[in-house]
A and B are shown apart, each in its own frame.
Chain A
Amino acid sequence: MRTIPLSIIKYVHAWWMSELILTYLHIDHDGVLVSWGGHPRHYGLFNLETNKDAIEQIPFLEGFLPARYTEIIEFIKVGSGRTAHIHLVPFRGGTWVLLFDATAEHDRQQRMQQQLNELSILTYRQTRLLQELETVAKQLQTDKVHLEEIAKNKGQLISNLSHELRTPLTSIASYSRLLEDTSNQDYVLNVKSNANHLLALIDNILDQTQLESGNITLQVGNCDPRLLLKELRTIFAPLASEKKLTLALQATSQLPFTLIVDELRLRQILINLLNNAIKFTISGKVSLILDWQQSNLMFEVTDTGKGISPDALEKIFLPYHRETNQQNGVGLGLAITKQLVELMGGEIRVKSMLNEGTTFSGFISTHTGMRYDNDEDADISSQNIKVLLAEDTRSTHLLLVTYLKESGYTVLSAYNGAEAIALAESEQPEIVLMDMQMPIMDGYSATRTLRERDFKSPIIALSASDLIEDREAALRAGCSHYLRKPVALDILLNIIKVLQA
């Protein structure tokens, strides 16, 4: 073992404590371990060999050699060794690495830091809990007020209801008697309209009961909103022209042609709003506009009716609430409307000026025919779906696999076109993601071959190219979609979901 140069001894002197034995490594300017001394194994360094590359034996020195100025790296623990303060001292182009035991200091600091960190996490959890408690308490309070209001209104309901049921029933009964001997068309119509009124009434009460007990589930399907508008026109045009009101039902150009939504409930919402608007408007105009903004269906129903007083506005959405006794019904229409809108992930607002008119506006969250981004849907629908990924760049491959698995898909991996063909034929995946540039056989040939052999599942082309020609070539080869790399994950997942549906 060589002797330690004087400058190093001097340096060490400043740090020397009698109970410590100096451990050192001397590394020359080529990064070769020239000599070592002391007890490197205490610090997790075993089998050191001189005249060999230092970094290979002591990987943690990566990036630190050669030292250009004296530097201390504190509290380093290698493997299960003791903790050291490591001093790097430059010496003739090379480096002296000195290791000082810092285990005692480490343990002391650790105890302190541990307490601080644990306390901090505890405080955090406590704050969160308190916040949650507060929200729950607030919710309970509003629920309570709400329930009290309903209870109060329900008493009123009983009397209203009996009145409401009695009048048309009486009418039905007497006209029915008349029907026994005459067959006057007006009598028949009267019976029919009273019976319909009763039916609507009872439907509303049933809906409200179900909404209150959370028993309504949405039946989501395809809906053409323009067709819906046409239907509404057929329903309301006679009523409007009878009262000489202008009826304007419109869709903006942004509105998609297909919406994924519970059409029955959407129709119910719009019918309720239009019905009210026409009912409370003596002259002027009733209009409905459907629009599409940020994946939401926006609706707005405006009338030039008598308006609603500010006091009444506050209570307008409460169930069983009626403003005047002259009003028909039991005051459920708007309550149901609001609850349905909220069930569909939306909101409804009302604005009104006395004697000028009222506007009900809001939105419901729906999807266009091209988007499904309901996460719960995704989890169910992606189960047992096999996606074949043909991609040669390893990191892109692994990343896509990880994301696809995270979304619940089973992934089959191919790294070139030939592997892709073999896997596609043996496993029959529901979806194929095909990189266009791959070794051995590229994505164009692989796709063409698969289509020639009657492979039916959608193939999504992944390509770094943005050229129209490349896109066309991919589609001509038989790809169903073309995505440019780097692929936006959300878009890819959406396309897969739409294709598999």
Chain B
Amino acid sequence: MAIILKKICMIGDFSVGKTSLVSRYVQQSFSDKYLTTVGVKIDTKLVTLPDQRQAKLSLWDIAGSDTLTSASMSYLRGAAGYLLVVDGTRRPTWDAALQLRDAVTKQIGAKPNILLLNKADLTEQWEVNDALVSQEREQGSTILKSSAKLGMGVEDAFTLLTLRMLDAN
């Protein structure tokens, strides 16, 4: 039996940690050095869910931007779900994520997604306040905290998104 393939896009402003989250998830590694992503980098990962179901993920790490560029629109094709990444230490990346979500929905329809508040290890520089988060959660958004640096919440986010994508079938 062929393992089911799901395409996941990493969406968010630049330098929020999209590339870092993928490399933490796929290679269990992290680097402090920032290297801008141009275009898209694709990795695959075989994931086994808590209920033993398996899926092959095609992870599209897209160049960061606070708006959807025409190039990123074609990258979105065929995506079954996406992670919206926010740098918790830069408030504008939160607003960008919410706008990007609308734009992505316009482009490929409503798909399972999770908003990740990344860099959760840098609490003293935190700029996204809890009231904002609870308000957005009340609207039905799933919002999790993560740190690609410490490996915190990364696996959970990808697993939850995969579950949602499989259940959406």
Contacts and interface: CB of A to CB of B under 8 A. Distances in A.
Interface in B34-48: 34-36, 38-44
A59 B160 contact: no
Interface in A246-285: none
A124 B87 CA distance: 13
Interface string B14-47: 1100000000000000000011101111111000
Contact of B167 (A55, A124, A395, A489): A395
B5 A394 contact: no
Given A106-B39, A113-B36, A395-B164, A490 B44 contact: no
B144 interface: yes
Interface residues of A, number: 39
26 contacts: A62-B5, A62-B58, A62-B78, A71-B74, A73-B75, A77-B39, A77-B40, A78-B42, A79-B42, A79-B43, A83-B38, A106-B39, A109-B38, A113-B38, A117-B64, A121-B90, A394-B50, A394-B167, A395-B160, A398-B156, A402-B153, A402-B160, A406-B144, A489-B137, A490-B134, A490-B137
A64 B60 CA distance: 14
Interface of A: 53, 55-56, 59-60, 62-64, 71, 73-79, 83, 102, 106, 109-110, 113-114, 117-118, 120-121, 124, 375, 394-395, 398-399, 402, 406, 486, 488-490
Given A59-B56, A398-B50, A75 B164 contact: no
A486 to B, nearest CB: 8
A63 B38 CA distance: 21
B90 A76 contact: no
B156 A75 contact: no
A316 B144 CA distance: 48
Q: DSSP class of B's interface residues: helix, strand, loop or mixed?
A: mixed
B163 A77 contact: no
Contact of B77 (A53, A63, A124, A489): A63
A110 B142 contact: no
A190 B39 CA distance: 88
A394 B163 contact: yes
Nearest to B157: A402
A121 B36 contact: no
B156 A63 contact: no
A406 B144 CA distance: 9
Nearest to B51: A394
Contacts of A77: 39-42
Contact of A117 (B5, B14, B58, B79): B14
Given A59-B58, A62-B7, A114-B35, 6 more contacts: A62-B5, A63-B7, A77-B40, A395-B164, A398-B160, A490-B134
Contacts of A74: 39, 71
B126 to A, nearest CB: 12
B132 interface: no
- Nearest 8 CB-CB pairs, A to B? A63-B78, A75-B39, A395-B163, A59-B58, A114-B36, A63-B77, A62-B78, A110-B38
Given A75-B40, A106-B39, A399 B142 contact: yes
Nearest to B41: A77
A56 B2 contact: yes
A399 B161 CA distance: 10
B99 interface: no
B124 interface: no
Contacts of B167: 394-395
A399 B160 contact: yes
Contacts of A488: 138
Contact of B130 (A117, A124, A375): A375
A399 B160 CA distance: 7
Nearest to A392: B51
A60 B34 contact: no
B58 A489 contact: no
A71 B35 CA distance: 28
B138 A490 contact: yes
A64 B39 contact: no
Contacts of A110: 35-36, 38
Contacts of B142: 399
A394 B50 CA distance: 8
B49 A394 contact: yes
A160 B63 CA distance: 71
A140 B51 CA distance: 58
Nearest to A61: B78
A59 B5 contact: yes
B153 A64 contact: no
Contacts of A60: 42, 58, 60
B136 to A, nearest CB: 11
Contacts of B160: 395, 398-399, 402
Contacts of B38: 75, 83, 106, 109-110, 113
